[in-house]
Structure 1
Amino acid sequence: MKTKQRKWIWVIGITMVLALAGIGAYAYSIYSNVKHTAQQIYEPVTPIAPKKRTKPVSLKRQTPISFLLIGVDERKGDRGRADSLIVLTVNPNEKSIKLLSIPRDTRVEMVGKGKMDKINHSYAFGGVNMTIATVEKFLDIPIDYYMKVNMESFKDIVDAVGGVTVDNPFAFTYDGVTFPKGEVALNGDKALKYARMRYDDPRGDFGREDRQKQIIEAVIQKGASLSSFVYYDDMLAAIAKHVKTNLTLAQMRDIQERYKEARQHMEQLHLQGTGAKINGIFYVLISEKERLAVSNALKTHLEVKQQRSG
């Protein structure tokens, strides 16, 4: 079942991590600032359930690894809920990445809460720790690293690189802004609107996803250029303000160095569910057959033991 999840949140997160590691790699003179930012965003996990890994991850030996990208809409005085939950598995041996968006209304067991509820409520109940434990139980896979990204980061990261330019395939107006056909210069606010439009796109969600990819690719290209260093203070500020992760700077650099070729092949997996109301509340219900198929696909990619049906 289609949801309104912002599927591009994983790319924003990875872009920020690579930017953070890349800046440190290319410019020693600003290394202390990069290191300080990495320390600011570092937030380790406190496990509330037994670990799924039987052997520790070795980045130097290129163990296939997993990430949970948590897109949140946090407000002052309110922890908020997980607006997007994206699982990434990265296999450097196959040079590939698999991505799975979990519908936020998916009905699952809340680990540590002892009840069934929508998966995005796990963050409201128990923050990152409960969200990781709940996703691990639902998919029966280890989550090695997480990245929590505030949704406002999308605007800030575009502004942090000094804006981007995209080639718009057709003219449209959205939320009071007109986007002409052809090359369009976008600041953070306009980029967010450009990426969100869907209903006037003849390709619907597919068209929207392509525009989101346009912006992300433009951000990566701009962020990777030496000229972007004039904006590095803004980039680090955006990362420090909007990101939390259990990755250390050393781990980020190891992943950037040893796993980057996995970006050559990306595959999106999908959880097909049905909508239903239970006690007046809407849920997305995932069949056991569907859950098992997706779980085993991720396990194969992570090179861990599969489940058997029955």
Structure 2
Amino acid sequence: MKRWMKISICICVVLVLGVAGTLFYLNRAVTTMAKQMYEPLALDDRSPLTLNIAGIDKASEDALKPFTVLLLGVDERGKDIGRSDTTMLIAVNPAKESILTFNIPRDTRTTIIGRGTEDKINHAYAFGGTSMSVRTVENFLNYPIDYYVKVNMEGLVHLIDSVGGIEVENHLPFSYEGYSFEKGTLKLDGKKALSYSRMRFDDPRGDLGRNERQREIIKALIQQSMTWKGLTKLQAFMDELGQSVKTNMQFDMMREIFLSYRPKIKEVSSIEIEGKGQKLNNIYYYIVDEPTRTSIHNKLVSFMSVAGRS
């Protein structure tokens, strides 16, 4: 055999083994991360609505069913259990090739399921953790939640630093917690990103403006983690992700979302929940009236109904 052919074969073998080794490493690392993130909700802690959980028909790709995810951005400081500063319902319907999101303002007044009291919706997490938050949001929307994803906002500091920082487009110049955020493209490390996400009182849109900045940070983090620079720090990123994110979504479902659902999604739309600010007993609340809640429920049912779920 000619020398150049031997060299070529050796190079090919090394490349194949390298790729195989990388894939093996990634599979093991991702599986480990998924196990760290997994935190189920006990059936005893779930309302009857949640028992109607969407599944995946493995027999046919066309049978992919819609599902809902409650995203909780939890601000935990020190030993304080924290509150869910970001509460967002994400509805995924592959039949419509679309995702619909609802941001629920943190000050929204509603019944806290499990306590039987009216309070701010973000207090549900402080009173009863993830389970109470899920049950309360289900009651507020009158619609079942299949999965939750809880992100520790403090953990975002380490996640963002592990991928070398993120870039965001700031439309409102402001100063907060000792940092100045000018209008335009900003390069943020973890601590600056956390401060950027927390400000709301100087924002004309209040909580809605803060929710938008938090969504932008999470989106930028996902984009940065997919770059080559992010991939070179993959182990550090996944270690932090395993510690900062909790979900009742198992690895098989995560894989299905990536392989089967993701290619089908062409559009992501967002609906703001309209309400008005009001003080009751000298406490500020965001009041969403019953007709508005009914309208939100109907939009959600209509969006999810294509695959036969209602």
Same fold (TM > 0.5): yes
Render the CA deviation track for 1:22-64: whole Å, top value 9, x for unaligned.
xxxx732233232222111111012332134546422643111
Shift of 1:130: 1.1
**Aligned counterparts of 1:217 and 1:126: Cα–Cα separation in 2:** 28
Equivalent residue number for residue 285 of structure 2: 283
Residues 68 and 28 from structure 1, CA distance in 2 versus in 1: closer, same or farther, beyond 3 angstroms?
A: same
Question: Which structure would you say has the larger RCO, counting Cα contacts within 8 Å and 6 or more residues apart?
Answer: 1
Shift of 1:273: 1.3
**Aligned counterparts of 1:118 and 1:199: Cα–Cα separation in 2:** 17
**Structure 2 unaligned spans of 5+:** 1-21
Equivalent residue number for residue 49 of structure 2: 51
Alignment partner of 1:150 out of 144, 149, 152: 152
CA contact (8 A) 1:156 1:238 kept: yes
Alignment partner of 2:28 out of 28, 32, 36: 32
Most deviating of 278-287 and 116-125: 278-287
Equivalent residue number for residue 63 of structure 1: 65
Residues 115 and 191 from structure 1, CA distance in 2 versus in 1: closer, same or farther, beyond 3 angstroms?
A: closer
**Aligned counterparts of 2:205 and 2:110: Cα–Cα separation in 1:** 32
**Aligned counterparts of 1:224 and 1:115: Cα–Cα separation in 2:** 43
Render the CA deviation track for 1:220-265: whole Å, top value 9, x for unaligned.
3432234433211221122122111001111111011122145531
Q: Percent identity?
A: 40
**2:239 counterpart of 1:243:** no
Taking the TM superposition and a 5 Å limit, the aligned residue runs for 1:116-131 are 116-131=118-133
Equivalent residue number for residue 99 of structure 2: 97
CA contact (8 A) 2:163 2:229 kept: no
**Aligned counterparts of 2:116 and 2:98: Cα–Cα separation in 1:** 36
Equivalent residue number for residue 85 of structure 2: 83
Most deviating of 289-298 and 153-162: 153-162
CA contact (8 A) 2:276 2:288 kept: yes
| SS of residue in 1 equivalent to 2:76 | coil
Alignment partner of 1:135 out of 137, 145, 148: 137
Shift of 1:89: 0.4
Shift of 1:277: 2.6
CA contact (8 A) 1:97 1:262 kept: no
Shift of 1:111: 1.4
Residues 43 and 220 from structure 1, CA distance in 2 versus in 1: closer, same or farther, beyond 3 angstroms?
A: closer
Shift of 1:157: 2.1
Render the CA deviation track for 1:138-175: whole Å, top value 9, x for unaligned.
10111000011111233222211122356778988665
Equivalent residue number for residue 232 of structure 2: 230
Residues 112 and 265 from structure 1, CA distance in 2 versus in 1: closer, same or farther, beyond 3 angstroms?
A: same
**Aligned counterparts of 1:86 and 1:134: Cα–Cα separation in 2:** 13
Letter in 2 for 1:32: R
Residues 139 and 165 from structure 1, CA distance in 2 versus in 1: closer, same or farther, beyond 3 angstroms?
A: closer
Query: Whose helix proportion is higher, 1 or 2?
Result: 2
CA contact (8 A) 2:54 2:66 kept: no
Shift of 1:72: 1.0
TM-score, normalisation: structure 2:
0.76
Equivalent residue number for residue 15 of structure 2: none
TM-score, normalisation: structure 1:
0.76
Query: How many residue pairs were aligned?
Result: 281
CA contact (8 A) 2:169 2:185 kept: yes
**Structure 1 unaligned spans of 5+:** 1-25
Letter in 2 for 1:48: R
Letter in 1 for 2:36: Q
**Aligned counterparts of 2:204 and 2:139: Cα–Cα separation in 1:** 38
Higher gyration radius (CA): 2
| SS of residue in 2 equivalent to 1:93 | helix
Most deviating of 247-256 and 108-117: 108-117
Equivalent residue number for residue 163 of structure 2: 161
**Aligned counterparts of 1:297 and 1:45: Cα–Cα separation in 2:** 27
| SS of residue in 2 equivalent to 1:78 | coil
| SS of residue in 2 equivalent to 1:141 | coil
Residues 291 and 217 from structure 1, CA distance in 2 versus in 1: closer, same or farther, beyond 3 angstroms?
A: closer
| Structure 1 vs Structure 2 CA RMSD | 3.3
**Aligned counterparts of 1:138 and 1:201: Cα–Cα separation in 2:** 26
Shift of 1:281: 2.7
